[in-house]
A and B are shown apart, each in its own frame.
Chain A
Amino acid sequence: MRQSSIIDIISPIMAGPSSSHTAGAVRLGLLARNVYNTKPDKITFKLYNSYAHTGKGHGTDKGLLAGILGFSVDDVRIKNVFDTPEAQELNYSFEFLDDFNRHPNAVDFIFEGGLNMTVSGDSIGAGEILLTKINNFSVNLDGKYNTLLVVYEDVPGVISAVTHIIQEDNVNIASLHCDRSGKGKDASMCICVDGELSKKCLNAVSDLKKMYIVRYIKKLES
């Protein structure tokens, strides 16, 4: 498992008032935005537990929206994000829920549009975050690595084919997380890499048979 760094502890430099409920919310929004990767027609934010109970007071709703709009954690616009032109162009709503099976600081982003997608994540403390689910697949995305997300048909040889293409790019794999909805059904792969994947590499993965979603999710800058 990855060890935390001193840098995680003495940062981020951020707009207050809460690292888990404001900065963490912005970072969850930013990473979910990178996963969805296109402009949605509508987005619903479902906030759970502590996020639901104390979120308004901590600006969690503002943070999540600011992240979806691409604002960084120290952006001075977060305080008044609802009034920004960017927010007014977006169709969004919030729901506040209880679910004791979920993390205290959990959120679902429900994107609707050309592609419908639900992205779930937790704010795990000190601004650190984890995306845990994309649609029905479990994932493990903390925004610290450039990550290749692939959803494909569960047939033999895909993991080998994809990792081979990455090897040809001469890029090292930091971690690999796989899941599937059932034997022969949809499967997913989350590949965190050191360094950058090339366009050529991403095209080669996309050209493999029965690839449903191929996303290159850049690591968060702040």
Chain B
Amino acid sequence: MDQVITTFRQLYYVCKASNKKIYEVALDNEVAKGEYSEYTVRLQAKKSLDAMKEAIKIGLKSTEKSPSGMSGDDCNKLQKSICSSILGDTARKIMIYALATSEQNLRMGTIVACPTAGSCGIVPSVLIAFAEDNNIPEGEQINALITAGEVGRLVSNKMALAGAVGGCQAECGVAAAMATAALTQMRGGSVKQVINAVALALKNILGLTCDPVCGLVEIPCVKRNPFLAIHAVTASELAMADIISKIPIDEVVDAMEQTGKLMSPLLKESSQGGLAKTKTAIALEKNILK
């Protein structure tokens, strides 16, 4: 393969022409670029997957508060909830894992930035909770993570995955798009279904602001992780029913890039607007940063 893949459209046609899965074409593409071998990519995916599982394991047990004291015990609360989940056990587990990872992050614990640290709970929670409940072998989990990685890579070729550049749509939004790709892949979705899931997830998160209270990755970041993990599940459910995004994914990414540029810097990780400037946020700021 000579041509390096830069768009989802290309990815789709190469998969179709070669009758390969997204992760197979993605690995071919990494090798074609000449910087990494297939082994190196798979090894990093395995290391990252292990680190994600470790972060969940520690996060599930910990109730240590963040240095600010604002968060750190929500995972514990959800685990103890006596109210049964209307979404089912796997969905509840996804939310718990997302909180576990995200709370490890705010403790300055070890996590995997996937794609970023603020959004670190989304891909692992969806991937690992589903894999556990459906006995997905490790090799397939790695394939799912590579599928997710390819989605993130293609978006990042268009726009930087940073809240300060594109708002939260570029962080948690892209993480949800990656998570739905991993999930749809593990559910046996076709290439078309995976790509549609990505389009549906991204399309429905455009314009999400990044306005962290006190400039900390806590409010709203921690709880946003379980919310967007379930967003990824919704996208996969629709895509598996062959529901099509009328706007093709490459155009959704263009729209996302434009939206990021049009958003005020006050709403892009500067904590100068939105939630960060509410009365309560300002009061919290006085308390914490004094």
Contact = CB atoms under 8 A, between A and B. Distances in A.
A5 B108 contact: no
Given A18-B118, A49-B270, A57 B33 contact: no
Contact of A104 (B4, B105, B115, B268): B268
Which range contains the number of B residues in contact with the other chain? 35 or more
A53 interface: yes
A3 B7 CA distance: 12
- Where chain A touches its partner, the secondary structure class is mixed
Given A5-B153, A10-B149, A104-B268, A16 B48 contact: no
B160 to A, nearest CB: 4
Interface string A34-78: 000000000000000110011111110000000000000010101
Interface string A13-42: 111111110110000000000000000000
A20 B164 contact: yes
B207 interface: no
Interface in B106-137: 106-118, 120
A125 interface: yes
Interface residues of A, number: 42
B270 A104 contact: yes
Interface stretch (B34-42, B91-99, B247-255): B34-42
B56 interface: no
15 contacts: A4-B157, A6-B150, A10-B45, A11-B47, A11-B112, A11-B113, A17-B108, A17-B117, A18-B118, A19-B115, A53-B271, A59-B108, A78-B108, A100-B265, A128-B160
Given A13-B112, A16-B105, A124-B162, 14 more contacts: A6-B149, A8-B153, A10-B48, A17-B117, A18-B116, A19-B113, A19-B117, A20-B163, A54-B212, A54-B271, A57-B216, A105-B164, A126-B113, A126-B160
Interface of B: 4, 6, 26, 30, 33, 35-36, 40-41, 44-45, 47-48, 51, 68, 104-118, 120, 145-146, 148-150, 152-153, 156-157, 160-165, 170, 178, 212, 214-218, 265, 268-272, 289
